Structures are given as structure tokens and as C-alpha cells.
């Protein structure tokens, strides 16, 4: 698969994840009155389950039926942890440090998360 196709697919799934996360954050913050940090954590966990399945079978398919799914889950989780950590620190810095709107900071953090996540999954999880 061409790298441009892989990036397009990743961006498409990332967009779906962003919608899932935005809806989750909105419901938790506006409807359920949950703190923005907890809302962020829950939204990313929900989206990660969706993300792994699409990445494994559509964005980074190996074609190897013997691929170790549990190993990939572990590496995907590590990649998620690194990407999420970068995004979470960015979120806190923007809201608490700069005073940026919580929703805008959540949105901008998606780009931090997406960049780190793509690189880690491309080079480590599904290489």
C-alpha cells in the first residue's frame, strides 16, 4: 500500500475518532457535568478501541494471519500511552497555563495525539 493511501486512511479513521471523542466529551461535560480531565480520559479510551480495530485491519494490514494480536495490542497501548501523554500534557498546559478554552484545547490536542500515534504505530506496532 502506498504511504499516501495509508496516511489518508489514518486521517479518515482519526476523523471518526475525533467525532467519537467530541461527542463523548460533550455528553460528559455538558450533559453529565463531568470534569474536563475525566471526560478527556474516557473519550480517548472509547476511541482507542475503535482505532485499534481499524488500524489493525485497514490502515496497517500486515496480511500475515499469524500476526500476534496480543503483541500488537500491547504495542498499540504503548503507542497510545505516549500519544495520549503528549496530548494530555498539551491539554493541561493550554487550559491551565495559557487559559485557552477547554473545548479548543481538546481539539488542538487531537493533532498532537494524531502525529505521535501515527508514527508509533507505523514504525513499531504494525511494522
pLDDT (tens digit per residue) in 24-44: 999 999 999 999 889 988 998
In the structure, what pLDDT confidence band is assigned to residue 66 with cuts at 50, 70 and 90? low
- pLDDT score, position 65: 64
Cell matching residue 65: 494471519
Query: Which phi-psi region, left, alpha or beta, contains residue 33 (left: φ > 0; alpha: ψ -120 to 50)?
Result: left
DSSP 54-116: HIIIIIS----TT--HHHHHHHHHHHHHHHHHHHHHHHHIIIIII---HHHHHHHHHHHHHHH
Q: Give the C-alpha separation, 32 to 90, whole Å.
A: 24
Q: Which residue has the cell 505516549?
A: 82
pLDDT digits (tens, 9 = 90+) for 109-124: 989 988 998 899 989 9
Amino acid at each position: 500500500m502506498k504511504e499516501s493511501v495509508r496516511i489518508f486512511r489514518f486521517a479518515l479513521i482519526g476523523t471518526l475518532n475525533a467525532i467519537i471523542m467530541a461527542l463523548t466529551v460533550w455528553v460528559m461535560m455538558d450533559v453529565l457535568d463531568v470534569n474536563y480531565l475525566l471526560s478527556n480520559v474516557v473519550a480517548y479510551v472509547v476511541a482507542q478501541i475503535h482505532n485499534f480495530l481499524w488500524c489493525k485491519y485497514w490502515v496497517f494490514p500486515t496480511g500475515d494471519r499469524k500476526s500476534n494480536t496480543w503483541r500488537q495490542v500491547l504495542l498499540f497501548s504503548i503507542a497510545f500511552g505516549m500519544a495520549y501523554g503528549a496530548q494530555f500534557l498539551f491539554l493541561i498546559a493550554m487550559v491551565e497555563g495559557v487559559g485557552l478554552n477547554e473545548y479548543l484545547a481538546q481539539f488542538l490536542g487531537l493533532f498532537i495525539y494524531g502525529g505521535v500515534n501515527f508514527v508509533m504505530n507505523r514504525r513499531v506496532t504494525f511494522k
